[in-house]
Amino acid sequence: MGFDDGKSKPARAALCIVARYVKILVSNDDGYRSQGIQRLRAALATLATVTTVAPDRNRSGASNSLTLDVPLRVWESEPGVHVVSGTPTDCVMMAISGLFEFEHDMVVSGVNDGPNLGDDVLYSGTVAAAMEGRFLGLPTMAVSLCTSDHGGGRHFATGAEVARRLVAHLLRSPLDPSLILNVNVPDVPLGDLRGYRSTRLGYRHRSSQIQCSRDPRGRPVYWVGAAGREQDAGPGTDFEAVAQGFVSVTPLQVDLTRHAMLPALGGWLGTVDG
């Protein structure tokens, strides 16, 4: 299919006028030097004023952790790029809660080096950065490129362009700001993408066993095992969409309450002895 964003010249001009006043916060969990965040920053700069606040190193798997036991340091590596000695959540929390004298309008996290599909969202620092933006009242998006350990691909330009088009569409046609959009992009050239799909999270088998080895002094050290293979990757899932060459867009929410269970749980609690 043609992957044109379908805007007329008047629509593009109107978007440019709006975007001049929009301020986007960009973050990630791969660190401020990563190719993904550099591509994302450049792509979104065509739409809005972009400020980057990102970790000083790779913090993949940091989830929603905050640094509470030591003070954080922030420095500017280049104009508009601020580096934090903490987690992705630290970065977004600080950026929105007083690091700057201006307010941001949106948070976009990524482009992550690797997928955030199914259960991955529970561990992902990329998704956590977007989630922190939602906690603090902003519309947010997490974007991941589905690279693999087998090499090849690494089309970060594709991921960044998909992010740009989705952000442009959000500016023209806003969604419920309580949503967190989790976007996973196949690792292919832009022209090979088949389109976009609205998806649900699939889930994986349990992860591999931990790996034990020895340090130079003979003491045991351990590595967390690799993520499990897909268990639910059927119709409608994010796994299926990416496998078929589509950009997967999953709407996430902060409320983890299983509301349908509340009446049954209330009845169960009513039978507690004592």
Are residues 158 and 148 in contact, defined by beta-carbon separation less than 8 angstroms? no
Question: How open is the CA angle 41-157-94, to the nearest 5 degrees?
Answer: 25
Residue 123 lies in a domain: yes
Q: Report d(CA 180, CA 253) in Å as an integer.
A: 6
Burial (CB < 10 A; 0-12, 13-18, 19+), residue 255, is exposed
Residue 97 lies in a domain: yes
Residue 218 lies in a domain: no
Find the farthest-apart pair of alpha carbons in the chain and give their distance in angstroms, rounded. 71
CB count in 10 Å sphere of residue 272? 6
Residue 36 lies in a domain: yes
Task: Give me the CATH number covering residue 235.
Answer: 3.40.1210.10
Burial (CB < 10 A; 0-12, 13-18, 19+), residue 26, is buried
How many domains is the chain partitioned into structurally? Answer: 1
Which residues make beta-bridge pairs with 204? 230
Q: Report d(CA 208, CA 182) in Å as an integer.
A: 25
Give CA separation, 231 vs 49, 118, 119, 206, in Å: 41, 10, 10, 9
Q: What is residue 100's DSSP assignment?
A: S
Amino acid 39: pLDDT: 97
> Per residue of the chain (274 residues), what is the pLDDT tens digit?
334 454 555 555 555 545 568 999 999 999 999 999 999 999 999 999 999 999 999 999 898 999 999 999 999 999 999 999 999 999 999 999 999 999 999 999 999 999 999 988 999 999 999 999 999 989 999 999 999 877 667 999 999 999 999 999 999 999 998 999 999 999 999 999 999 999 999 866 465 677 888 989 989 888 775 665 655 567 899 999 999 999 999 999 999 899 999 999 999 999 998 6
Residue 42 lies in a domain: yes
Residue 223 lies in a domain: no
Give CA separation, 226 vs 60, 128, 186, 208, in Å: 13, 20, 20, 5
What range defines the domain where residue 254 resides?
9-203+230-269
Residue 242 lies in a domain: yes
Amino acid 273: pLDDT: 85
Amino acid 2: pLDDT: 39
Amino acid 114: pLDDT: 94
Residue 220 lies in a domain: no
Copy the structure tokens of residue 21: 């006043």
Copy the structure tokens of residue 29: 């969990």
Are residues 29 and 55 in contact, defined by beta-carbon separation less than 8 angstroms? yes
